A and B are shown apart, each in its own frame.
Chain A
């Protein structure tokens, strides 16, 4: 019964979406307030019905209702409760349901909080949002219905893929999807602006918080996925340039560019046409990511079979929205008025530079990901494009970008003096030189490129703080004065500084972990010891244990440094009966920002056990950096200017504010 309610709710949501995609748009065209007012309640009701469908599926999982095919295929009655919740989206159908849940959530948020939007813009935005929603509801109902029943309910489910039975599944997909789908709002705003043929700085002010929120979640979502892969896959890598990873990186690169060009548009009324294009492209790349992962285009040649109707359906959605969006752009964009002028050496110029390199980096990933596919279709020739290609092409595009990161916030708008700004970055330059010299000294002339990388990271970090130090008079004025001044700074300035600083932190982690990581692969018998860097690990023996839905063999290791025991590590191998499959659980020992990483291999004939031990210096900085970026975004989002949204006349005299 519950599954049927869910199914029915989804059908109702589709009906509402169809109404919402037509009526408000007509209303906006005729300036009919009654028709336009339909959009708000339908958006809220859509969210309520999709929410109901989602709850219904979740109920199926929690109560282990194996008469529902989806639950039968992806759950098991003995699975811990948390995984019963997370396995709702640990499969194709459920993950699409999560996708539309977030889509309708964003629509509802615009309806609920967009009270100060011009009524025609709001109606158009919600209509466009509903076109997307309708397409995806239809996709789910036609090709990926999660509510299908089995005629005879089996006693037990087939269990969730063991690799997914991890806390990562609770965090990574929802964040990633909020990011992907959040860009739909920027897309809807862009299309609505094109339909109206009008766009101004206020438009950018409305779009920016949505883009920023989506960007924050995508950043953290990608980072959490990377950390999950790092500890779960057992070989200690954190980024593999896998097509599915690239599919999430592309919207991130385009979204980052969008975030920066929207600033120019808001402040200076320039780059309008470009910002609109970026908004369309960013969501198009999100859709393409969904298509690449869902259709199996990139993987069908190898291990996975796929349902061709799904691929064709998503391809149709893709063509409709990307093609339609770009066609509308080509038609209407020339009618948009060009805005403020600026000299090449200005903050606008720096942000254009940022957009240029981010777009080029995004294009590189795009071409690298799809080239093998295109070549195979056109010439039947099979090639591979993997990590070595991307490392070689991506890095040269990112280095100039990182060099300009601290420059941007120091540049004045309209027209700036490069020499003066470079002089102000002297401190950052000196820090970089010290970092390079220090690195070379410590590693006794180690890889020069890596030392330069450390220098670049130091430059970005110190350079990001330069603006703050100058504006508050830190190190120059008494601390109390500096603090008072800091309190007066807008939060968005803090946000920029912190997010850029986080970028430097991540870079430092990547360079250090990739360059100075060490590993040891050995066979050990109980009682033997293996040493890496200053750590000695002794293998104390194997212990068997029964988990809720698996059996595991734990290898116990004690870790010593300079003779003192500093901890134990217990890597394990788990075997899951239901799926007849096993996973390896790596053990991690954190020392500061560095980690020891121990993972198990196969047992030998002589009672020995193969182990792989890594020392990853400063590896945690990679993810700490992204967390800092997230916090920076959050601070910027909480800025009064964005919270308030568009300028409004003051309601009462008591709310007088000092000019910013």
Chain B
């Protein structure tokens, strides 16, 4: 437990750094495909696939052995003539949705994808409602409650005083 606790560190980038604490780097020279078009597609796909043993890293960034296996697998499928979406389908069938860093739209992720739009729409609706209420005639007066008798008396007194001396100060 103690030894593990050590690894607790203070801050964002650092916790992230830990994930790569044995860092060398991800894509190795021997993995690269001779065909540059296929290779760039492989890199593009790698950025959308999660290294499942790492902490939120794509297989493009990770140097874990599993990430390497996945990178090689992606390249194998591409060389075999798969399209990008076929590769993603293949990996999702094998490893589940967890492998995709950009989850597919479905019932389970509908809220996730809708969130930005919903929040924005709610905000706009709230603002429009506020403006409507405000622009209703007589609203400004209704908002301020009338003075109580005591307040009215005090006001008269203050105004009277002000008239006598230098006038109300700013």
- A, B co-complexed: yes
Q: Which parts of B40-74 form the interface with A (CB within 8 Å)?
A: 47-48, 50, 53-58, 61
Q: B100 touching A384 by the CB < 8 A rule?
A: yes
Contact at B50–A384, with CB atoms within 8 Å? yes
Is the CB of B163 closer than 8 A to any CB of chain A? no
> Do A73 and B13 contact each other (CB < 8 Å), given the known contacts A234-B23, A364-B115?
no
Query: When the two chains form their complex, are residues B55 and A299 in contact, meaning their CB atoms are under 8 A apart?
Result: yes
B158 CB within 8 Å of chain A = no
Could you tell me the distance between the alpha carbons of A609 and B165 in the complex, rounded to whole angstroms? 90
Residue of B with least CB distance to A599: B25
Give 17 CB contacts A-B under 8 Å. Answer: A95-B11, A163-B17, A172-B14, A229-B13, A233-B23, A240-B61, A242-B15, A242-B55, A244-B12, A293-B15, A302-B54, A338-B143, A363-B116, A367-B115, A371-B111, A383-B98, A599-B25
Is residue A307 within 8 Å, beta carbon to beta carbon, of the partner chain? yes
* B156 interface residue per 8 A CB criterion: no
Going nearest first, the 3 A-B pairs with the smallest beta carbon separation are A386-B101, A95-B10, A92-B8
The answer to whether A245 and B13 touch across the interface, beta carbons within 8 angstroms, is yes
A contact set with B: CB distance below 8 Å: 69, 73-74, 89-92, 94-95, 98, 158, 161-164, 168-169, 172-173, 176, 222, 225-226, 228-229, 232-235, 237, 240-245, 247-248, 293-294, 299, 302-307, 337-338, 341, 344, 352, 356-357, 359-361, 363-364, 367-368, 371, 375, 379, 381-389, 392-393, 396-397, 521-523, 573, 581-584, 599-602, 610, 612
A386 to B102, Cβ gap below 8 A?
A: yes
Q: How far is the CA of A522 from the CA of B25 in the complex (A)?
A: 12
In the assembled complex, which residues on chain B have CB atoms less than 8 Å from the CB atom of A521? 27-29, 32
Return chain B residues, CB-CB under 8 Å to A610. 24-25, 28-29
Contact B134 A341 (CB under 8 A): yes
B97 at the interface (CB under 8 A from A): yes
Docked Cα-Cα span, A174 to B104, in Å, equals 39
With A381-B108, A388-B47 already in contact, the answer to whether A176 and B55 are too (CB < 8 A) is: no
Q: Which residues of B contact A242 (CB under 8 A)?
A: 12, 15-16, 55-56
Contact B6 A158 (CB under 8 A): yes
- Do A386 and B56 touch (CB < 8 A)? yes
B18 within 8 Å of A (CB atoms): yes
A382 touches B96 (CB 8 A): yes
Residue in B7, B21, B116 whose beta carbon sits within 8 Å of that of A397 in the complex: B116
Number of residue pairs A-B, CB distance < 8 angstroms: 232
For A611, the closest partner residue in chain B by CB is B29
Q: Are B101 and A95 in contact (CB under 8 A)?
A: no
Residues of A within 8 A of B102 (CB): 385-386, 388-389, 392
Contact B8 A91 (CB under 8 A): yes
Which B positions have Cβ atoms within 8 angstroms of A?
1-2, 4-30, 32, 47-48, 50, 53-58, 61, 96-103, 108-109, 111-113, 115-116, 119-120, 123-124, 127, 131, 134, 140, 143-144
In the complex, residue of chain A having the shortest beta-carbon distance to the beta carbon of B131: A344
In Å, the complex CA distance between A229 and B109 comes to 30
Interchain CB contact under 8 A, A383 and B103? yes
| Chain B residues, Cβ within 8 Å of A92 | 5, 8-10
A602 touches B2 (CB 8 A): no
Question: Looking across the interface, which residue of chain B has its beta carbon closest to that of A73?
Answer: B6
Q: Are A245 and B5 in contact (CB under 8 A)?
A: no
Q: A234 and B25 in contact (CB under 8 A), knowing A169-B14, A360-B119, A368-B112? A: yes
Q: Pick the residue among A299, A305, A338 that contacts B15 (CB under 8 A).
A: A299
Query: Hey, which chain A residues are within 8 Å of B11, CB to CB?
Result: 95, 172-173, 176, 225, 244, 293
A307 touches B15 (CB 8 A): no
CB distance A584 to B116 under 8 Å? Answer: no
Nearest opposing residue in chain A for B7, CB measure: A304
Chain A residues within an 8 Å CB radius of B97? 381-384
Q: Which residues of B contact A599 (CB under 8 A)?
A: 25
- CB pair A91 B116 closer than 8 Å: no
Known contacts A74-B6, A381-B97, A397-B116, A229 near B16 by CB under 8 Å: yes
With a cutoff of 8 Å between Cβ atoms, the chain A residues found around residue B4 in the complex are 304-305
State which of A172, A356, A382, A393 has its C-beta within 8 Å of the C-beta of B127. A356
| Of B13, B26, B111, the contact of A235 (CB 8 Å cutoff) | B26
List chain A residues, Cβ under 8 A from B56.
Answer: 240-243, 384, 386
Q: Knowing A161-B18, A229-B16, say if A307 contacts B1 (CB, 8 Å).
A: yes
Roughly how many angstroms separate A89 CA and B108 CA in the complex, as a whole number?
A: 40
In the complex, what residues of B have CB within 8 A of residue A89's CB? 10
Kindly state the separation between the CA atoms of A523 and B123 in the bound complex, as whole angstroms: 54
Question: Cβ of A384 and Cβ of B101 under 8 Å apart?
Answer: yes
- Find chain A residues with CB under 8 A from B18 CB: 161, 163, 303-304
Contact of B120 among A229, A338, A360, A600 (CB under 8 A): A360
How far, in angstroms, from A360 to B50 measured CA to CA in the complex? 26
Chain B residues within 8 Å of A385, by CB: 101-103, 112
Q: Are A228 and B22 in contact (CB under 8 A)?
A: no
Chain A residues within an 8 Å CB radius of B120: 356-357, 360, 397
Q: Which residues of A contact B111 (CB under 8 A)?
A: 367, 371
Docked Cα-Cα span, A338 to B48, in Å, equals 48
Please report the C-alpha to C-alpha distance between residue A234 and residue B16 in the assembled complex, in whole angstroms: 13
Inter-chain contact B25/A612, CB cutoff 8 Å: yes
Given A229-B16, A234-B23, A359-B123, 19 additional A-B pairs, CB 8 A = A91-B9, A95-B11, A158-B6, A173-B14, A233-B17, A234-B20, A242-B55, A293-B12, A299-B55, A302-B55, A305-B4, A364-B116, A375-B108, A379-B108, A383-B103, A396-B116, A600-B24, A600-B25, A610-B29
How far is the CB of B35 from the nearest CB of chain A, in Å?
A: 15
On chain A, the residues within 8 Å of B54 by CB distance are 302-303
**Among B19, B50, B134, which residue has the most Cβ atoms of chain A within 10 A?**
B19
Bound-state CA distance A92–B18 (Å) is 14
Residues of B within 8 A of A176 (CB): 11-12
Of A69, A360, A583, most buried by chain B (CB within 10 Å of CB) is A360
